[in-house]
Chain A
Amino acid sequence: MVSRLTRQYGSGIREASTYLGQNYMVVDSSLIPELLRLLRDQEQFDYCVDITALHYPEKEKPFEVIWILYSFAKNERIRVKTEIVDGQVVPSSFSIWPTANWLEREVYDMFGIRFDGHPDLKRILLPDGWKGHPLRKDYGIIQQDNEWVQINLGIESGQ
């Protein structure tokens, strides 16, 4: 499969390898969502297990978006990763796997990564007016949006 994809996309597939028996590939962000659609339609990855992200503040492209896919027919998993800069918009995969709806909302909520073409991109776990994205590395563990807390809960601080 990997050789087929590399032939088609060339250097767009940055890396395709296995770690601890699990396959993953790092691809250029321009291949999303085309590659994801191809994985679903031609490689039978019909179940999107999870969409998540990673934050590496010191890197040139600080965010990694990760799709964990599973194929019922092949009983196989693969992770697709792409690196993006802060503020870069990633195409939504809602039209490929509708389960991406809430998963992408959570990534947006926690990391502030926007998904283009998402039907209703808004916060999911935190309240709508909250400032900041907690899973970014520069967001402290006891940090809060105190302004929101004061206005909405009527207390000085949530601590």
Chain B
Amino acid sequence: MPDATKFLSHLELGETDQTFLDSNELIINMGPQHPATHGVLRVILKLDGEKVLGTECVIGYLHRGVEKIAEHRTYTMFNPYVDRMDYVAAVSNGLGYCEAVERLMNVEAPPRANYIRVILTELNRLASHMLWLGTHALDIGAITPLFYTFRDREEILKIFEKYCGARLTTHAFRIGGCLYETYDGFEQDVTRFLKFVAPKIDEYEELLTTNRIWVERTKKVGYITADDCKALGVTGPVLRASGVQWDLRKAQPYAAYKEFDFDIPTGTNGDTYDRYLVRMQEMRQSLRIIDQAVGKIPEGPIMAKVPKVIKPAVGEIYHSIEAPKGELGYFIVSDGSTQPYRVRVRPPSFVNLQALDQMVRGQLVADVVAVIGTLDIVLGEVDR
């Protein structure tokens, strides 16, 4: 386990730092209004010329007090709120919350609901990764991928819209299963989408994977070791790109994931380029999962027998799923009433963002933008 002192991520802003004229060090403020911070993130950079000596993140601009709201809503009423955290992967948020409450109540969603959940969640993972790729490439200076990925992401959103009426904050699942039956032609739509999107992913790779500018800007940038990842609690593609083959869909399967055959792509170098490759592979694995699931959605009910008023017994549960960004966990405490006593969300973006300092220290200031992009944070989830 590495020495903790190297993970200190705050700056001592003394008087000498502020009068930078007679010192070589320069304090620069990036954000909160900055297009490359993917939202309202403020990063204070301490620079020596172009080299980053240290950073400090200032967050909280989007804090809405989701955890406090939960204590004043019933279990059912709180369900749509979770979509607003990671708003580009709302389906994953909903899945984690619904499953956590189901486990707390000892209810299991029927197999048909689980299949629908897997298909929609994987589609959402694709949408999230596509949005990440487009904006990340844009930050680094490649404009074309943004148009391509947004064009293709639109097809996923159309399926969501047809399924539940909403495109982003879907509220697709309910505690106990799904509210909506699949619409007529759902399977055909998804199959058509799979055929449509597989060559598109090759197209993205053609644009970037061997592109000299892309490789120069991402290789050996934002390097982080597997040990540092574990120490900092970093999960998701960032951890896997550092060589740890760990994915909650395999480690602790939920929904219907154990019935499908898929690989966990890993990287070796733990740099921005490897994280790019890992996410591209993950998109292909998602297609594989959807392909297996869509052909054999079992018949049957889509809702388990859940009481109209949800009142779990006194107790607590921690349940986590593999969201597109990493481990998304819900720690729910019930006092036996209709409202949760406490809902704690363990957000992957919040914890992953903590690694920013470790990843950019000693690198160039231009790489900070690349590293923020590669961490794939959503500020709605960081601040909740």
Contact = CB atoms under 8 A, between A and B. Distances in A.
Interface of A: 19-20, 22, 40, 46-50, 52, 54, 66, 68, 72, 75, 77, 79, 94-99, 101-103, 110, 119-120, 123-127, 134-135, 139, 141
24 contacts: A19-B315, A19-B316, A20-B106, A20-B315, A22-B317, A47-B230, A49-B329, A50-B329, A54-B341, A66-B331, A72-B244, A77-B318, A94-B4, A94-B7, A97-B233, A98-B7, A103-B351, A123-B60, A125-B63, A125-B384, A135-B68, A135-B342, A139-B68, A141-B68
A62 to B, nearest CB: 13
What secondary structure prevails in chain B residues at the interface with A? mixed
A79 B4 CA distance: 22
Given A99-B231, A120-B8, A20 B317 contact: yes
B200 interface: no
Interface in B198-241: 230-234
B104 A120 contact: no
Q: Which 5 A-B pairs have the closest CB atoms?
A: A99-B233, A98-B7, A125-B60, A120-B10, A95-B4
Contacts of B331: 50, 52, 66, 68
Interface in B66-101: 67-69, 71-72
Nearest to B234: A99
Contacts of B384: 125
Contact of B318 (A22, A94, A127, A135): A22
Given A22-B318, A54-B333, A72-B246, 10 more contacts: A20-B106, A50-B329, A68-B331, A98-B7, A99-B232, A99-B354, A102-B350, A102-B354, A124-B60, A134-B68
B251 interface: yes
Contacts of A141: 68-69, 71-72
Contacts of A54: 333, 341-342
A77 B317 CA distance: 12
B230 A46 contact: yes
Contact of A135 (B2, B67, B103): B67
B233 A48 contact: yes
Contacts of A19: 315-317
A68 B244 CA distance: 20
Interface of B: 1-2, 4, 7-10, 59-60, 63, 65, 67-69, 71-72, 103-104, 106, 230-234, 244, 246, 251-252, 315-318, 320, 327, 329, 331, 333, 341-342, 344, 346, 350-351, 354, 383-384
A65 B149 CA distance: 43
A52 B244 CA distance: 26
A98 B230 CA distance: 9
Contact of A101 (B2, B344, B354): B354
A48 to B, nearest CB: 6
Nearest to B346: A50
B60 A126 contact: yes
Nearest to B10: A120
Given A50-B344, A125-B383, A134-B65, A119 B60 contact: no
Contacts of B60: 123-127
A140 to B, nearest CB: 10
A20 B63 contact: no
A76 to B, nearest CB: 10
B351 A99 contact: yes
Given A20-B317, A125-B383, A97 B251 contact: no
Given A19-B315, A20-B315, A101 B7 contact: yes
Contacts of A123: 60
Contacts of B344: 50, 52
Contact of A20 (B104, B232, B333): B104
A40 B354 contact: no
A49 B321 CA distance: 12
B329 to A, nearest CB: 6
Contacts of B252: 75
Task: Determine which residue in A40, A49, A123 has the highest number of CB atoms from chain B within 10 A of its CB, and name it.
Answer: A49
A69 to B, nearest CB: 11
